[in-house]
A and B are shown apart, each in its own frame.
Chain A
Amino acid sequence: MVVAIAVIRLRDLFAVVMLFGIYSLLSAALFVALAAPDVAFTEAVVGAGISTVLMLATLAMTSRHERRPAHKPWLPLAVVTVTGAFLVYGTLDIPSFGAPDNPVHTHVAPRYLEESGEEIGVPNVVTSVLSSYRGFDTFGETVVVFTAGMGVLVLLGRGRRRRGEEEGEKRDSQGEKEGAA
């Protein structure tokens, strides 16, 4: 949480990205503590590895420092506080943390836990639910990843044709980048 606040406060975007990696690693540790090794695994590799590198690559192309915000922060802060207060009020009706009679645990999950051993024959229930019971979902997610990759490719891949008219502007930004570095 402290790291999250620091991420918001800092205006040096390079430090923000580094702190963001630390934040991801901490939440991965939290997932291990909550008995979710699969998720922790993914979060550690993705958060601390890939997304940090991607953000750095973006920063290398854009500027490193954030400008001081022009507006006073009071209006967003008020909106956020009120929304947060309502949400905290809402949590009072949710069953407490770690309670075994939480409605989440009483519907399909026991069936997965009890019968997947015989039906699928794979000890890791997360894998069997992921690939077998919810195969459609996972297919969709795979297609989403694929589509996002294609989207990045469309946006950045072969964008050389319209370069000519932006030439002057680009040179300015190049100079700015040199100044910032």
Chain B
Amino acid sequence: MMQHHQILRVVTKFNLPLIMLFGLYVQFHGDFGPGGGFQAGVIIAAAFVLYALVFGLDHAREVAPEGALKIFSALGVLIYGGTGVLNMLLGGNFLDYNTLSPAHPAHGQHYGILAIEFGVGMTVSSTLTLIFFVLSGRKERGGDD
């Protein structure tokens, strides 16, 4: 798409790791400051979208293949649900994180929140990236036939 815009490419290359890092920070620091799985997922998806806009959709597909994105978005839901089922196996209710660490219920809550936020972030980021790829890939495929 924009292979010849040197400045855009260099600046994007410089910014992408920072955006990703910020996404991860928001993901795992969501307990203490504003943030959490939903925001982090959207930020990481935005990083992928930026990459696709500047370097072209085909390069972005190599970085994040659609099949892998499908698997990741399903895996995120599974992590979330699986945490709940794990709590049931440990003798509590569905999504009752206290069972994760019986001695320190608050610690258990902390682990549980981290796990499900991770699942949410995974689902949201890969689903939004997938939607973008599919919506914009339609045009390129429509163009060649």
Count A interface residues, CB 8 Å.
Answer: 45
Contact A123-B95, Cβ < 8 Å, known A42-B42, A131-B113, A132-B112: no
The range of chain B's interface size is 35 or more
A128 at the A/B interface (Cβ < 8 Å)?
yes
- Verify B110–A122 contact, CB threshold 8 A: yes
Contact A121-B117, Cβ < 8 Å, known A149-B130, A152-B135, A153-B130: no
Q: Per a CB cutoff under 8 Å, which of B32, B46, B106, B134 touches A50?
A: B46
- Verify B127–A146 contact, CB threshold 8 A: yes
Minimum CB–CB distance for A32 against chain B, Å: 10
Minimum CB–CB distance for B94 against chain A, Å: 8
Q: Per a CB cutoff under 8 Å, which of A45, A57, A139, A170 touches B81?
A: A139
Minimum CB–CB distance for B101 against chain A, Å: 11
State the CA gap A19–B34 with chains docked (Å). Answer: 27
- Verify B123–A146 contact, CB threshold 8 A: yes
A interface residues with partner B (beta carbon < 8 Å): 37-38, 41-42, 45-46, 49-50, 53-54, 57-58, 60-61, 118-124, 126-128, 130-132, 135-136, 138-139, 142-143, 145-146, 148-149, 152-153, 156-157, 160, 163, 170, 174
- Verify B131–A149 contact, CB threshold 8 A: yes
- Verify B42–A61 contact, CB threshold 8 A: no
Residues of B within 8 A of A42 (CB): 38-39, 42
State the CA gap A68–B26 with chains docked (Å). Answer: 45
- Verify B42–A124 contact, CB threshold 8 A: no
Q: Per a CB cutoff under 8 Å, which of B31, B80, B120 touches A123?
A: B31
Residues of A within 8 A of B117 (CB): 127, 131
Contact A156-B36, Cβ < 8 Å, known A49-B42, A123-B31, A131-B113: no
